[in-house]
Structure 1
Amino acid sequence: MTSTTARGNQGNGKGSLEGSVVAVAGAAGPAGAAALLRLAEEGATVVAADADAERLAQAVDAARFAHGGASVTGDTVDLLDVAAAREWAARTEKEFGRVDGLVHLVGGWRGSSSFADTDLADWDALHSLLIRTVQHTSLAFEGALRRSGNGRYLLVSAAGASNPTAGNAAYSAAKAAAEAWTLALADAFRKAGGDAGPSAAAAILVVKALVHDQMRADRPNAKFAGFTDVRELAETITGTWSKPTEEVNGKRLWLTPKP
């Protein structure tokens, strides 16, 4: 496990997440980079993790230089290793004294031209990427998020989980399983809160697919109908902390029309 820390030294503005500590899993991709930028802009201390050390460092540096008042830390963590995920969570809470969020952006896609052509090796790969990593991060961070008093566990999912197509059987099934696991975490938060209400929320952010500037540059004539820009996703992520916890917990937050 390697670590890279970036800490800015300019700006005195107070954001809506000032004083909060938010972990981002799968932070090296375009959605992760956008989330780091937006969380840093809102004043959060951001603790990012990814298996790709080089891309993670680039995302951390971008957040640092764009928002100099924030602290952004990047760790290379194998989230397929439950012990590594637990160690990441424990170290984060020990170092910063709290964890107020885990944004789960670990992704991957495999599909086929038809249902009959489905390769079950795709299921094996997606089971690891889309289900195991959710299990590991949720189990690792559940306690810290409850202790936060305003914790958030946010899973980014796809509309196909509830409206699967023939060629996306493995992908849609894996996403649906990850959603079910996240909703079980939400029920745990609800039960732990009792009459006082949950002290943390687990929610699902549903998109059709994501789009970013490089995709538009590569395909200038594409419409990307129904796609969600990664910056809009990042805005929705940060906005969940401004809503009452009980209004977020156990909810699917749709960023695309429901199927």
Structure 2
Amino acid sequence: MMHRKINCGGAGFLEATSALVVLTLCLTAGCAGRQYGHLLADNDKDLVGSHAAGAATWNPLVDESVAKLLSRCPPAIQPVGFQMNHEVVSIDPPSDGAHLAGGPATVCFVGIENKSAEEIGDFKDQLFERIDSQINEHGEFRGISHRMVQTALRETRLRPDSLFLPENRQVFASVLGRQGTPVDYLLFATITSGTTDRNKSSQRDYVLTLEMVNLHTGDFLKESAKIRKGYSKSRAGKWWNYGPFDQADG
């Protein structure tokens, strides 16, 4: 019987091996110059950024801080009265909040100031819209058009931080009032961060602070939300710093 020798070291074997290696690299690391996308469902988790804050950081910060702030703001004031000779007589003295009785309070969202260690890029506009939308979804508050706010700032030549002075607030409010938009509250948002480094790992604490100023009294409320995020050069660094049973990260 003749035995046929199979040559496994020829050019065909090398080509097949090379193709398998290239295919494996493409599947694991992605072929150079190519990018793939897919739509996310509402219940899909946000992607966790590997080098900076992203949707998984900013969205919860907005949701928590807005909910905490609006829950503390005083509701619209309804004056108490009694009826005498078919005429309603008020027994409450006029107050700074009495103007809110006719409807929801108007909130002028001035802007977002980034004091963190990161550039937030296109997230700044998205954060603004997310905060503004949640204000308008609340039954006792309604926002003022951002375009009108920017126009009033240009006309008065005022910076957002200068609105903390009473005389500047009145000038700014009068301009919006002439446009048919009375103002009850001014809203300011500030982003800050604090970084802790340890060898090749770091932790960054992100804080979003919202400050609501009553235009008529100058009283203000502040609420904030914080998210801590760890950064490591390797996945093992995360386990070393925070333990192996922490939530999966990106």
TM-score after normalising by structure 2: 0.28
Higher helix share: 1
TM-score of the pair, normalised by structure 1: 0.28
